[in-house]
Chains A and B, each alone.
Chain A
Amino acid sequence: MQDFAESFSLAFRLILSADADLAEIVLLSLKVSLSATLCACMIGMSLGAAIAIFRFPGRGVLLVLTNALMGLPPVVVGLAIYMLLSNAGPFGTFQLLYSPTAMIIAQTVLVTPIATALTRQVIADLHTEYDEQLRSLALGPFATLTTLLWDGRFSLITVALAGFGRAVAEVGAVIIVGGNINHVTRVMTTAIALETSKGDLALALALGLILIGISISVNAALMALKGTARRFAYE
């Protein structure tokens, strides 16, 4: 129990001291995971909505696949991206390994199935509800898709948050493709893994508490945005 108390006070002291190294790590964590969430949402939300609305061959397989891939192990994604970006791999010439860009790619791969599967559910439900109305307006398939995406925007914020949660919390992928290089690719989760391996459990847990704090802040900010937008939308 003493460790827990120590971690809490350490976390507070770290935040209050505005430690430059810590700030750098926190900012990189946010940058990488927010970028990955954005990329994944752009791909996943279009794909998810398409699966929800259109009927095409292989749709069932795609559905099962995206649902299953929500459970992709980060370490497997990290390994696959490492092999692709390695100098011995097909994309080695781009020199992306051990860079934040590689970390964004890995997290995008992790989050895309989540964004796809959850968006499909949201849009499928809306589609059932508004199908007749949309038909009566004689909207084409593309217009139906964009209308439903716009209509489901508040639920889709939750989808984005689920994706961000996955991205910011994972360590398996970014530690392989990023290499946990100090001042270059060190993020919150890899820093926690490093301090744990040094046996500095109190500091590791303190960093974990700060990470949870960041997650809460991002969620709160988006929820506030959602509330404001909803008020404007329905007034």
Chain B
Amino acid sequence: MKHLKRILGGLALAAMLALTGTGNAESADKFITLQSTTSTQNSGLFDYMLPIFSKKTGIEVRVVAVGTGQALKNARNGDGDVLFVHAKPAEEKFVADGFGVSRQDVMFNDFVIVGPAADPAKVGGMKDAPAALKMIADAKTPFASRGDDSGTHKKEKRLWKAAGVDADASSGSWYRETGSGMGATLNAAVGMGAYALTDRATWISFKNKSDFKVQVEGDKVLFNQYGVILVNPAKHPVVKKELGQTFIDWVTGDEGQETINSYKLNGQQLFFANAK
């Protein structure tokens, strides 16, 4: 009995210590939560850009990198101060529904269609993205789709529509929805020799390329715009309005824009600033 009480007491004490111990990380003075996408995180842009911002303003930026669909959903719940995503129509709807204060352009890059070097659908070097997708569908060569309502997936769905192909009808045969992030989808595409739509930043920084290369690029419809939105404090009073706005002003201002343009990986510029 005595032993047991001692042990239980010790356990309770240890658990309390452990719980309070974790409080340190949370009590950091000034931080905002940024709901963003995997492309900005995985490409290393945030690792490069955010320390510069934090050093200047003393505001820590905590990035939750998920697909644009999930980021919008999380922000709708008030679980973030600022959104930094890439699906303009969905972002505009988010603001129109009153969940965001306003939306501003930040930067752009482009989407590309990648595929195996053997190029079974013979789309290599094409510029017309919908036409290339039509050829992939006609040849019934595997195509790996995000299938997760992310910004990239939304773009892909618009491209299939433009191509006049009902890809969903072939889901499970040549059209394969991974329901995962960009990296996981690229890993799957490489594994099964499938074509895939990806943003260029993720592709350049992706390390498991195998013999895959960019097959289709340069179409105007492949334009990929990133926007930034302050989550509406009127909907969620916990939103850190001033700190969030400071970040938005910086990233769309001269210093932030120059920082974005100066980020290079393997000598290539990944994002092009275009805030107005």
* Least CB distance, B66 to chain A, in whole angstroms: 8
Q: Are A198 and B77 in contact (CB under 8 A)?
A: no
In the complex, per-residue mask of B57-78: 1 if CB is within 8 Å of any chain A CB, else 0 = 0000011110000000010111
Q: Are A88 and B65 in contact (CB under 8 A)?
A: no
Q: Which of B129-137, B180-188, B215-223, B246-254 faces chain A?
A: B180-188
Q: Are A31 and B22 in contact (CB under 8 A)?
A: yes
Q: Are A200 and B77 in contact (CB under 8 A)?
A: no
Contacts of B26 in A (CB 8 A): 99-101, 184
Contacts of A150 in B (CB 8 A): 1, 3-4, 7
* A38 and B62 contact, Cβ closer than 8 Å, known pairs A146-B1, A146-B4: no
Q: Are A32 and B1 in contact (CB under 8 A)?
A: no
Q: Which of A67-75, A90-98, A111-119, A128-136 faces chain B?
A: A90-98
* Least CB distance, A220 to chain B, in whole angstroms: 20
Counting CB contacts under 8 A, is A143 at the interface?
A: yes
Counting CB contacts under 8 A, is B8 at the interface?
A: yes
Q: Are B183 and A179 in contact (CB under 8 A)?
A: no
The closest CB in chain B to the CB of A183 belongs to B25
* Least CB distance, B266 to chain A, in whole angstroms: 14
* Least CB distance, B55 to chain A, in whole angstroms: 15
* Least CB distance, B62 to chain A, in whole angstroms: 5
Counting CB contacts under 8 A, is B209 at the interface?
A: yes
Interface of A is mostly: helix
Counting CB contacts under 8 A, is B33 at the interface?
A: yes
Q: Are B78 and A98 in contact (CB under 8 A)?
A: no
Q: Are A200 and B63 in contact (CB under 8 A)?
A: no
When chains A and B are docked, how far (Å) is the Cα of A197 from the Cα of B178?
13
Q: Are B187 and A42 in contact (CB under 8 A)?
A: no
* A199 and B187 contact, Cβ closer than 8 Å, known pairs A32-B22, A181-B64: yes
Counting CB contacts under 8 A, is B169 at the interface?
A: no
Q: Are A147 and B187 in contact (CB under 8 A)?
A: no
* A98 and B22 contact, Cβ closer than 8 Å, known pairs A150-B3, A199-B209: no
Counting CB contacts under 8 A, is B14 at the interface?
A: yes
Not counting A100-B22, A153-B7, a sample of 19 additional A-B residue pairs whose C-beta atoms are within 8 angstroms of each other reads: A31-B18, A38-B11, A38-B14, A39-B15, A42-B8, A87-B236, A88-B76, A95-B238, A99-B25, A104-B19, A149-B4, A150-B7, A179-B62, A180-B65, A182-B63, A196-B183, A197-B187, A198-B205, A199-B206
Interchain residue pairs A-B with the least CB separation, the first 3: A197-B183, A87-B78, A199-B208
